[in-house]
Amino acid sequence: MKTLKYVLIVIAVIAVASCKKDQYYLFNDTARIQFGPDATRIYTASYNLADTLKPFTFYYELPSVTEDTVFFDIYAIGGVSKTDRGFTLKQEQVPNVSNAVAGTHYVAFTDPRVSKFYTIKAGTVHTSVPVIVLRDPSLKTNTVLLKLNVVSDGNFQLGEKSNLWRKVQLTDRLSQPASWNASFSQYYFGKYSTVKHAFMIQATGQKWDESFISVTSADYALLQYYIGVVKTALIDYNKNNPGNPLRDESGELVVIP
């Protein structure tokens, strides 16, 4: 009986492991569609819900830049097809926030400029979804949210419920990059604020945008160098402004741990 018990446990463990590995192939009854992480991280559990929200700002761009593109990864479930298969996206209105407006803040999903790319090519199960965001003047004073969902159509039914949507947070102001996460705050530059962010840009001459933070975080020596530069600049600022140390937009002292 003990042997049987151990065999059953081993079978259960293998079954759970297989389910985790094949989470993007759970459905084989029909063709389905869902979002997912970068293709290189599709079987890494910690990245299952990566990129669900992508903050985007035009703040760093020249005035001549009026649009840009945000990309998400999407997957077909249930195997490949011998023909191209289009998929359908739709905006969902989110309560109690400023929702993006098609034609004002982004190019509508039905517009041929983008809809022609909403296709899983024959022989493949993955593609990148382009969302063209627009630099409307309202973004200078406001942040809007675009939530996009996949919807069932003639080619695809829906996949896992938690992977049917993605969000873009759009503005033309200085905003918190996705890479400035809890870990980045805890171990490096502390709590995010736009005042601190602007100060770091001024002190280092770097953008401290999503790309720069991602690259710099991978180089510990370089990151420590910039922490030293910012700390020194903050000390100098406070010395030069006695009784008026640098405070953020909430009135709290700006601190670099």
Domain spans of the chain?
A: 24-171, 182-240
pLDDT of residue 93: 98
The pLDDT tens digits of the residues spanning 137-166 come to: 999 999 999 999 999 999 999 999 999 999
- Please tell me the pTM assigned to this model: 0.78
> Is a pLDDT exceeding 70 seen at residue 48?
no
Q: Which amino acid is at 185?
A: S
Fold of 24-171: Immunoglobulin-like (2.60.40)
- Distance between alpha carbon 218 and the CA centroid of its chain, in Å? 18
Q: Structure tokens of 196?
A: 């601190």
The pLDDT tens digits of the residues spanning 77-115 come to: 988 999 999 999 999 999 999 999 999 999 999 999 999
Res. 46 pLDDT band, cuts 50 70 90: low
The pLDDT tens digits of the residues spanning 212-245 come to: 999 999 999 999 999 999 999 999 999 999 999 9
Q: Which of 79, 184, 97, 189 is nearest to 146 (CA)?
A: 97
Res. 40 pLDDT band, cuts 50 70 90: confident
